[in-house]
Amino acid sequence: MEAKLEYTLRIADNALILGQRLGEWCGHGPALEEDIALTNISLDLIGQARSLLTYAGELEGNGRDEDKMAFFRDAHDFRNVLLVEQKNGHFGDTIARQFLFDHFSWLFYDALLKSNDDTLRAIAEKSIKEVTYHRRHSSEWIIRLGDGTEESHSKIQESINELWAFTGEMYTPDKLDQQALADGYGVDLVQLSEYWKQNVAGVLRQATLNVPEDGWMQKGGKKGIHSEHLGYMLAEMQHIPRTYPDAQW
């Protein structure tokens, strides 16, 4: 796969897969306001994925549009990090996953504003405004739950601890990340990781939570090696368009 195409798919698939996960909360939120918040965030993420997948289709040059990219690729073609495909769990698990990702995503788009690729830069300029609200929402919940009751404190600490092993993959550059940076369209993940650790630790401390130790980190999603969760999720997401490939909206 061409480097810029694969790089764009990483950004696109993070947004699409997390957007789809959050959509699963529709009608199941712990309160009406949160049901609406999670699905609003889902909608923003799917909107970002639409722009990114359209661009990926153009880079690929085989005439595939956003829908073909979303619904007719298999799990091993997806390039999202493992964090975003993790199951929703309870509300605290979802908030912890969102919090860890939102802080990454905000810094990523902020750095992408300096990309030499006009399309990626324009998408970043649009998306960062939305992620600013997402990041505030998840950070406020981390504080409310962490600095809340004994039960909410211990539950959210447990969620953060369990998901921590999935954070390294987001900010650890591999060959493709290094090439994208060298070619001027990608993001400096080494610098990003310092800000990310600082920002995340700041909120966790404010929430009276512990910052987990960096231990062994899970990885694979960026190269197309996924947990079993992604397959089930895609089966649901892709079922209708694959059963009726000529269906029109």
For other proteins, give the closer residue by CB, 75 or 193.
193
DSSP track, 130-141: HHHHHHHHHHHH
Closest approach of other proteins to the CB of residue 210, in Å: 20
Decide if 212 contacts 158 (C-beta within 8 A): no
For other proteins, give the closer residue by CB, 71 or 133.
133
Closest approach of other proteins to the CB of residue 37, in Å: 4
Closest approach of other proteins to the CB of residue 227, in Å: 26
d(CA 69, CA 131): 23
CA 5, 11, 16, 21 dihedral sign is positive
CA-based nearest residue to 66, from 49, 54, 77: 54
Decide if 168 contacts 217 (C-beta within 8 A): yes
Closest approach of other proteins to the CB of residue 195, in Å: 11
Q: Provide the angle, in degrees to the nearest 10, between the axes of the packed helices 189-206 and 91-112.
A: 140
Closest approach of other proteins to the CB of residue 95, in Å: 14
For other proteins, give the closer residue by CB, 10 or 226.
10
The binding site for other proteins (CB under 8 A) comprises 33-34, 36-37, 40-41, 43-48, 50-51, 110, 118, 121-123, 125-130, 132-133, 135-137, 139-140, 199, 203
Residue whose entry in the numeric block shows the structure tokens 């929703």: 88
For other proteins, give the closer residue by CB, 42 or 86.
42
For other proteins, give the closer residue by CB, 127 or 167.
127
d(CA 198, CA 237): 36
CA-based nearest residue to 79, from 151, 159, 170, 143: 170
Separate counts of helices (H) and strands (E) for the chain: 11, 0
Q: How many residues are listed for the chain in this entry? A: 249
Closest approach of other proteins to the CB of residue 14, in Å: 14
For other proteins, give the closer residue by CB, 83 or 128.
128
